[in-house]
Amino acid sequence: MKGVSIPHKELVAFRREGDLTIDAMASHFDVAKSTMCGWLYRHEKQKMAPVFYNRVMQKMQEKDGFALVKKPSVMDINLRVIESALTGDTDECWLHYASEVYPINIASEKQVILLYTGIGETTLARWLNLIMPQGQNLLRLRCFLAHRGYGVAEFDALSDVLRTLNYLIADRKTTFAEVMSKAKYSQDGALLQVLLGRANMGDERLAICRDLIAEYASKEKKISADRSSAGIQDVETPFVIKLDHRQEYSPITRVNGKQKWEIENLAACVRMMLPLAERVLSDEYTEQDRERLRTLANGDEVFRLSNALNGLCGPRMRVRVMNRQEGE
């Protein structure tokens, strides 16, 4: 029976739009995973039976099908912090997880990692045998480990913007295809190299990505507030928040029990507060405005904050501030 050409471009676009895994694609189109791999990666050497072609074209029109195969929201996954999590490169962090954490509670850990990464059990088995992933799966694995409290060296070496983009994609707050489109990448491999820390991103694209992050940060704040009012506790995605006219950006990271995150959070707060404090200090504001600020900050908290920040200016200042506090 003569076959027809595989609608490769349409399948790739469908996969990108839904940010679907190979397993999800195979499930949606009711074919084996090996068949789907052939359609996506060996389309130039293969043909498709007409009955399959008709099914594929019909399934691509069923937009409601996305709800059945799209990966679950990270908000529905319990990414608890692992107290024994260590700092190292991706291989070292994964080795610790696979050998020290996963075997202790296989049932729950298996469910969490499958849900978060969107991979199948066969792929997970390869990972547990230390056959490390590539591409977007590597991106998701690093974010999974970081969420669980690991200090992944390659991930931590990324800029705030790139780390946040990784989280947004892995946490399914946006899709790889959307970032690729808005950042004006024509090839997914080029964007992957940037997100994995193997290439740099130009200033124009960085500016676009910062605006994209700020947009999602605003959306996430509203979603989190709505879910919090409903008694639902979310896993927080680290965001880079656009500040003001200075066009500075600050990382707002999740609390995961590690002191390094507290340092980053404090640094972000300082960067956010400084332009505001300087502006309120200027003649644009009256003394009545500044008095109202102190009142809204519970009277003495501006003074206490000033003392604390003075103590962070250097070791000598810290000793003075600590001695003053002990004498009170």
pLDDT at 54: 78
* Contacts made by residues 155-163, CB under 8 angstroms, sequence distance 24+: 155/90, 155/197, 157/197, 158/195, 158/197, 160/240, 160/249, 160/250, 160/251, 161/201, 161/206, 161/209, 161/210, 161/213, 161/240, 161/249, 162/194, 162/195, 162/197, 162/201, 163/238, 163/251
For 1, 144, 220, 228, 245, the CA distances from 235, given in Å and listed in that order, are 52, 12, 11, 11, 30
Q: For 224-258, how does the pLDDT look when each residue is reduced to its tens digit (9 = 90+)?
A: 555 555 554 444 555 433 333 333 333 334 444 44
Arithmetic mean of pLDDT, 92-97: 94
pTM above 0.85, yes or no: no
DSSP code at position 77: S
Q: For 45-79, how does the pLDDT look when each residue is reduced to its tens digit (9 = 90+)?
A: 677 777 778 778 877 776 544 433 344 455 557 78
Q: What span, in angstroms and rounded, lies between the C-alpha atoms of 95 and 88?
A: 10
Task: Give 242 or 93, the one with higher predicted confidence.
Answer: 93
Task: Give 13 or 98, the one with higher predicted confidence.
Answer: 98
**Considering only 99-108, 166-175, 267-276, which range has the smallest mean pLDDT?**
267-276
List, in order, residues 6 or more apart from 149 with CB less than 8 Å away.
81, 82, 83, 85, 256, 257, 258
Q: Quick one: how far is CA 74 from the chain centroid?
A: 10
Q: What span, in angstroms and rounded, lies between the C-alpha atoms of 132 and 152?
A: 14
User: What six digits make up the tokens of 91?
Assistant: 């291989």
pLDDT at 70: 42
Arithmetic mean of pLDDT, 103-128: 90
Backbone angles phi, psi at 114, to 5 degrees: -65, -40
Q: For 285-308, how does the pLDDT look when each residue is reduced to its tens digit (9 = 90+)?
A: 888 888 888 888 777 788 888 888
For 25, 86, 167, 198, the CA distances from 19, given in Å and listed in that order, are 10, 30, 14, 23
Q: For 188-229, how does the pLDDT look when each residue is reduced to its tens digit (9 = 90+)?
A: 889 999 999 999 999 899 989 888 888 877 776 665 555 555
